[in-house]
Amino acid sequence: MELKRVVVTGLGALTPIGNTLPEYWEGLKNGKSGAAPIKQFDASLFKTHFACEVKDFNVTDHIDRKEARKLDQFSQYAIVSAREAVANSGLIESEPNLNRIGVIWGSGIGGLKTFQDEVTNYAKGDGTPRFNPFFIPKMIADIAAGHISIEYGFRGPNYVTVSACASSTNAIIDAYNYIRLGKADAIVTGGSEAGVNEAGLGGFNALRALSTRNDSPETASRPFDAERDGFVLGEGAGALILEDYDHAIKRGAKIYAEVLGGGMSSDAYHMTAPHPDGLGARNSMIAALEDAELDSSKIDYVNVHGTSTPLGDVAEVKAIQQVFGEHAYNINISSTKSMTGHLLGAAGAIEAIACVMAVQEDIVPPTINHENEDPALDNKLNLTFNKAQKRTVNYAMSNTFGFGGHNTTVIVKKFTK
């Protein structure tokens, strides 16, 4: 069968460096750090005292107070970013067939704060089981997609992918496949996460995964720097409207970019550590290139997973060099996690948005906070250190990897008819 072309017609972002798409993109271009001391709770007894929190966000500015109480923070973030993307797309105004519009979302954890609070309250009580009636529907990861579909009446495919930090890229790839197979006209996709809480911080601290640069939070996320010491926990959401090309053209939609291919793989190596030679990352990128029927020499920009961990950054660079060979020196490579921190299951969504905007505006966002060369890396690569760079970006690739060895890659291209 002939596969449909899939385009991006709407975007929405709620991030630690901007609460809307324009604010987020400006933050990326300007190399803005979203890291600061944690405000949502007292983190003074934890090894890490800081995170990349969403700032100046009052949920009741967006959602009725009574309804907001029924939603975990990750669902609140999902709804707000999805609303921006849907409005941005003009999809509803075109009076679409709601049976052919779906929601495929991603979240690595779901309602962690809800789970933490309910269990803590029970443990502090007298043993009498008193639980919020919304405990379960607030907590479960799939509920974010359900709320978005309920809000708009979207009756197409509806679910949430869970593959740790690869979750929202998995969601984007699934949405892409449903549309190109002709099973939907449009899908709201992306992801959300709200892991900046005691359980999230404590859990990742126990894994020794987080930076402890408490004296300088804003410089703590420093991918590829010799003194990197772990990732910075982030939160927020990103939403994309993927749409059948013919459907988008018929309704006169603005098209931001075209989705060209997606790849997935498993390291099959370790519970939390990447394969040291980047085997799974390599296979994911190759699968995406094959799916897109694209030669690796066409890629202009790679938005890497680049979490600022000692092992992960090296493994990913090795994988890129294996996939691209000499062309690796012609590519711009950057980690926007240096600015946003690591949004866990939502990382792939906001990073795919960064790639879409890069091909839209021919600007590569930087990897900030680089001060010291790491001898374990090939420093002849263009890792876009500290300042955004102007260049023609026709094809961009986004990598996201997750605990369990999950690897995902998506490729977008500049839109041409």
417 residues of the chain, pLDDT tens digit each: 799 999 999 999 999 999 999 999 999 999 999 999 999 999 999 999 999 999 999 999 999 999 999 999 999 999 999 999 999 999 999 999 999 999 999 999 999 999 999 999 999 999 999 999 999 999 999 999 999 999 999 999 999 999 999 999 999 999 999 999 999 999 999 999 999 999 999 999 999 999 999 999 999 999 999 999 999 999 999 999 999 999 999 999 999 999 999 999 999 999 999 999 999 999 999 999 999 999 999 999 999 999 999 999 999 999 999 999 999 999 999 999 999 999 999 999 999 999 999 999 999 999 999 999 999 999 899 999 999 999 999 999 999 999 999 999 999 999 998
User: What digits encode the pLDDT tens for the residues 358-373?
Assistant: 999 999 999 999 999 9
Q: Supply 195's token pair.
A: 């892991």
Is residue 142 left, alpha or beta, with left meaning phi > 0 and alpha meaning psi from -120 to 50? Answer: alpha
Q: Is 62 among the catalytic positions?
A: no
Residue-level pLDDT at 69 = 96
Taking the C-alpha atoms of residue 181 and residue 223, their distance in angstroms, rounded to an integer, is 37
Structural domains for the chain: 7-250 (3.40.47.10), 261-413 (3.40.47.10)
pTM score, whole prediction: 0.98
How far does CA 194 lie from the centroid of its chain? 12
Active-site pick, 49, 275, 305, 370: 305
User: What digits encode the pLDDT tens for the residues 251-309?
Assistant: 999 999 999 999 999 999 999 999 999 999 999 999 999 999 999 999 999 999 999 99
Active-site pick, 49, 147, 247, 342: 342
Q: Is 270 among the catalytic positions?
A: no
Residue-level pLDDT at 1 = 78
Q: Which long-range contacts (CB under 8 A, 24 or more apart) does 295-299 make?
A: 296/323, 296/324, 296/325, 296/327, 297/324, 297/327, 298/394, 298/395, 299/324, 299/327, 299/331, 299/395, 299/396, 299/397, 299/411
Q: Supply 272's token pair.
A: 């939390």
Active-site pick, 49, 52, 147, 165: 165
Are the beta carbons of 413 and 359 closer than 8 angstroms? Answer: yes
Q: Is 355 among the catalytic positions?
A: no
Task: With H, G, I as helix, E, B as strand and everything else as coil, classify residue 228.
Answer: coil
